[in-house]
Amino acid sequence: MKFGGTSVADLDRIANAAARVKEEVDAGNDVIVTVSAMAGVTNQLVGYVDQTSPLYDAREYDAIVASGEQVTAGLMALRLQAMGLSARSWLGWQIPIRTNEIHGKARMEEIQTAEIEKRFAEGQVAVVAGFQGISPSNRITTLGRGGTDTTAVALAAAFKADRCDIYTDVDGVYTTDPRIVSKARKIDMISFEEMLELASQGAKVLQTRSVELAMNHGVRVQVRSSFDPSPGTMVVDEDEIVEQQVVSGIAYSRDEAKITLVRVKDQPGIAAAIFGPLSDSAINVDMIVQSVSADGQRTDMTFTVTKSDLGRALEVLETNRGEIGYEDLLSDDNVVKVSVIGVGMRSHAGVAQTMFRTLSEKGINIQVISTSEIKISTLISEDYTELALRALHTAYGLDAEDA
Amino acid sequence: MKFGGTSVADLDRIANAAARVKEEVDAGNDVIVTVSAMAGVTNQLVGYVDQTSPLYDAREYDAIVASGEQVTAGLMALRLQAMGLSARSWLGWQIPIRTNEIHGKARMEEIQTAEIEKRFAEGQVAVVAGFQGISPSNRITTLGRGGTDTTAVALAAAFKADRCDIYTDVDGVYTTDPRIVSKARKIDMISFEEMLELASQGAKVLQTRSVELAMNHGVRVQVRSSFDPSPGTMVVDEDEIVEQQVVSGIAYSRDEAKITLVRVKDQPGIAAAIFGPLSDSAINVDMIVQSVSADGQRTDMTFTVTKSDLGRALEVLETNRGEIGYEDLLSDDNVVKVSVIGVGMRSHAGVAQTMFRTLSEKGINIQVISTSEIKISTLISEDYTELALRALHTAYGLDAEDA
């Protein structure tokens, strides 16, 4: 059972979360609880670090920031004890959760289960401070933002748990953002692959990395609300889902910016000349389209980066203008990437066509297209975000009947 | 170098403390810094614990509360790095500082020095989170309130340091409280024994336990201000002090309450009948006086407890009235204990007489007297606190010449 920052934001919410834990214990389950820092605490600690030293030592950053989860874990254990349960807190170094040395975004390498399993036999609940581990040098490491999701899934895998319940402030995964599309439906079951695409294409309910980990270890994840007892969304292996939808969900990301290099030379090595320097500057490029060359000599190259990388990307391209040899450099950050996701695409034709036709019917121009086996993404003007989402949601038959 | 909560209350103060550390490093010293939690943090965490579970598990309390020092240690290390020094933070479990299992007030049993000494050779400053250690069961322990003083002295002893500097918000130990006696003087050097008596008799500048530890290991302690570069007070072995004062300081404690049992039976076992039940209830009794029995059959027994224990002490005595057999039970919490302290008393007669005469001349009635080799304490009405302190300070020749 994982409780995020808003689910443990204050002592009342910790008590509420503890009550959910007690229900599972009363149902006869062995339970590991993992908790984030109380909402706001991590940001405060990160603020201290940034103000103290802009070029900080990530090892100290980790020791400081990991303290937030340490506090919540202790408080959760105390609360469970106050409710009559046996419980104790575990810090990353106590279990231990061994990670590599990459401070600030460490990867877990080994979780010892013996000690906690011994306590299960005595009916004790393990409360694990999320987001942290211990490096080979005996220093505290953290797993990066959202790391407590990853901790929860990794624990579930290590202990071969029946389920990993991620408690959050929404009651599940939706077919699209319900704040934009009122007819969005909660999904009962979704496959790992689809969840992974939804997460990487902008749905914020689960961290990409934790979904990846769950998929690799076959951990059944449930996304559910800390405040609403109804079942949430089960993220499971594709084979478990009897009635597969063609399209499961529609994600969007406003964190996109488009760059176009006008009339670059259409010759071997040009892609390397463009994307090499960007990669060297740690700028990730997402969608790429090279328009058909009319004369066989010059072509336009369009691609996307995150909004926050746009400025740096333009600088890098200006600097390398000589080698690349473009005529003009255009950019646009008023764009959104809309992605339609579903494993059913593998066996159903016409899914892409439905997307293109639907957008066209609403007069929405598609600027860039990219596809994968179970996903079609289009880049459109940000102004049409809501219109596109609603139209696509209806077109793919996802609208709730009673909404 | 130990910095308490007010010396690291915010990032500016941490920067100020770091500047003091740099001075010592620049002077060619190997430095261990130990820090408390930022002022207010420990109280906030203790508040969380109390609200979560009134009968808390001290092991969880320790894990929660120790996080405060963890944050400050990391921030101090970062700040030192930002100033161009090599520095790293150390948590109790990393060094390790091994303690017993008494959570909430653990005693240190062993400090490993090898790792930190290796870093000294590389010019690295060690920043140690104060107040904490690790138990034989691999749980975080804390040393009790003021524990960072104890951490500092214990580290100084383990590393055979030349000096243990305790940075605080006053610039040294004074002959008495300068807020009450304007002519109070800063003491340049004081012996361990005197400092111990001052601390136990009410002077708050150092924790009793840390002074005891310093005395036992011969650690030279300097009490000094984080905000004022002038030298503070050196607490050293008696032999180091060339010109010994007869009286070094005058302490007072308002945290006293007086209880009198009127006309108890003057017979063997009566003290046990009174103090046994109090001791069983964990109530400490301090000064005790048994008045001369006029008829050889009945006597009055007077003693002091802390103000906070008074209510419980009276309850215990009421409950045991049958066995004790007193005629009346009186109490008074409007009292103060004033103590005159100095190793010179060992060799000088008349020190007590000066105290009694001085108080008498001011018309102050002495209610209880207790003495030790280097201390005379009197219990008087709290109303006379300031008057008594000023008169005694003058009588013992302690007044500053220029004040």
Q: What is the DSSP string of B337-372?
A: EEEEE-GGGGT-SSHHHHHHHHHHHTTPPP-EEEEE
DSSP structure string for A307-327: GGGHHHHHHHHHHTHHHH--S
Residues 133-152 of A with CB under 8 A from B: 138-140
Note whether B67 contacts A70, CB cutoff 8 Å. yes
Q: Strand pairing partners for B253?
A: B337
**Minimum CA–CA partner of B44 in chain A:** A71
How far, rounded to the nearest angstrom, does the alpha carbon of residue A80 sit from its chain's CA centroid? 30
**Cα(A83)–Cα(B57) distance, rounded to whole angstroms?**
13
* Domain chopping of chain A, boundaries: 2-242, 251-395
CATH 3.40.1160.10 corresponds to the domain A2-242: yes
Residue-wise pLDDT for B144-188, tens only, equals 877 999 999 999 999 999 999 999 989 999 999 999 999 999 999
The tokens of B198 are what?
């001052």
Residue-wise pLDDT for B277-298, tens only, equals 999 998 999 999 888 767 778 8
Check: CB of residue B176 under 8 Å from CB of residue B253: no
Residues in chain B with CB shorter than 8 Å from the CB of A82 are 52-53, 55
B224 CA: distance to closest CA in chain A (Å): 25
Number of C-beta neighbours around residue B293 at 10 A: 15
pLDDT at position A299: 87
Nearest to A385, CA basis, from A347, A356, A359: A359
CATH 3.20.20.140 corresponds to the domain B2-169: no
Amino acid A365 reads N
Residues in chain A with CB shorter than 8 Å from the CB of B138 are 94
Distances (CA, A) of B119 to A56, A134, B78, B86: 20, 20, 16, 9
Q: Which of A342-351, B14-23, B227-236, B246-255 shows the lowest mean pLDDT across its residues?
A: A342-351
Note whether B60 contacts A88, CB cutoff 8 Å. yes
**Cα(B311)–Cα(B307) distance, rounded to whole angstroms?**
8
Helix pair B351-361, B385-395: axis angle to 10 deg: 130
pLDDT at position A78: 98
Note whether B51 contacts A11, CB cutoff 8 Å. yes
Residues in chain A where the model's pLDDT stays below 70: 293, 402-403
Mean pLDDT of chain B: 94
Nearest to A157, CA basis, from A214, A198, A204, A115: A214
B46 CA: distance to closest CA in chain A (Å): 11
pLDDT higher than 90, residue B347: no
The phi and psi torsions of B53 (rounded to 5 degrees) equal -160, 105
Q: For residue B272, with 0-12 CB atoms within 10 Å meaning exposed, 13-18 middle and 19 or more buried, which class applies? A: exposed
Residues in chain A with CB shorter than 8 Å from the CB of B139 are 94
The tokens of A246 are what?
């063609």
Helix pair B67-82, B41-52: axis angle to 10 deg: 160
Note whether B91 contacts A64, CB cutoff 8 Å. no
pLDDT at position B402: 65
Nearest to B349, CA basis, from B376, B379, B378: B376
Number of helices (H) and strands (E), helices first, in chain A? 13, 18
Pairing mode, if any, of strands A233-236 and A221-225?
Answer: antiparallel
Check: CB of residue A366 under 8 Å from CB of residue A283: no
Amino acid A319 reads T
Q: Which residue has the tokens 């899914």?
A: A351
Residues in chain A with CB shorter than 8 Å from the CB of B53 are 78-79, 81-82
Question: Domain A251-395 belongs to what architecture?
Answer: 2-Layer Sandwich (3.30)
Nearest to A150, CA basis, from A209, A222, A232, A218: A209
Q: Which helix (DSSP H) or strand (DSSP E) does residue B300 occupy?
A: strand B298-305
pLDDT at position A245: 83
Q: Strand pairing partners for B368?
A: B379
Number of C-beta neighbours around residue B132 at 10 A: 28
Residues 36-55 of B with CB under 8 A from A: 45, 48-49, 51-53, 55
Highest mean pLDDT range out of A271-280, A362-371, B70-79, B207-216?
Answer: B70-79
pLDDT at position B18: 98
**Cα(B256)–Cα(B305) distance, rounded to whole angstroms?**
6
pLDDT at position A54: 85
**Cα(A195)–Cα(A198) distance, rounded to whole angstroms?**
5
Q: What is the 8-class DSSP label of residue A296?
A: S
Note whether A94 contacts B51, CB cutoff 8 Å. no
Q: What percent of chain B has pLDDT over 70?
A: 99
The tokens of A224 are what?
């559910």
**Cα(A201)–Cα(A214) distance, rounded to whole angstroms?**
18
Report the pLDDT averaged over residues B187-203: 92
Check: CB of residue A223 under 8 Å from CB of residue A204: no
How far, rounded to the nearest angstrom, does the alpha carbon of residue B247 sit from its chain's CA centroid? 20
pLDDT higher than 60, residue B403: no
Pairing mode, if any, of strands B2-3 and B32-35?
Answer: parallel
Check: CB of residue B202 under 8 Å from CB of residue B339: yes
Q: What is the 8-class DSSP label of residue B383?
A: G
Amino acid B209 reads R
The tokens of A258 are what?
């488009």
Q: Which residue has the tokens 């915010």?
A: B10
E strand segments, B206-248: 221-225, 233-236
**Minimum CA–CA partner of B76 in chain A:** A52
Note whether A77 contacts B67, CB cutoff 8 Å. no
Of B52, B82, B88, the CB nearest to A53: B82
**Minimum CA–CA partner of B42 in chain A:** A71
pTM of the model: 0.87
**Minimum CA–CA partner of A84 in chain B:** B53
Peptide bond into A96 cis (omega under 30): yes
Check: CB of residue A165 under 8 Å from CB of residue A233: no
Peptide bond into B96 cis (omega under 30): yes
In a mutagenesis test of the B interface, which of A61, A64, A112, A119 is the best target, namely the one with the most B β-carbons within 10 Å?
Answer: A64
Question: Does B70 touch chain A if contact means CB atoms closer than 8 Å?
Answer: yes
**Minimum CA–CA partner of A61 in chain B:** B74
**Cα(A91)–Cα(A64) distance, rounded to whole angstroms?**
14
**Cα(A392)–Cα(B137) distance, rounded to whole angstroms?**
58
**Minimum CA–CA partner of A11 in chain B:** B52
**Cα(A10)–Cα(A133) distance, rounded to whole angstroms?**
24
Distances (CA, A) of B388 to B181, B246, B332, B369: 10, 19, 19, 15
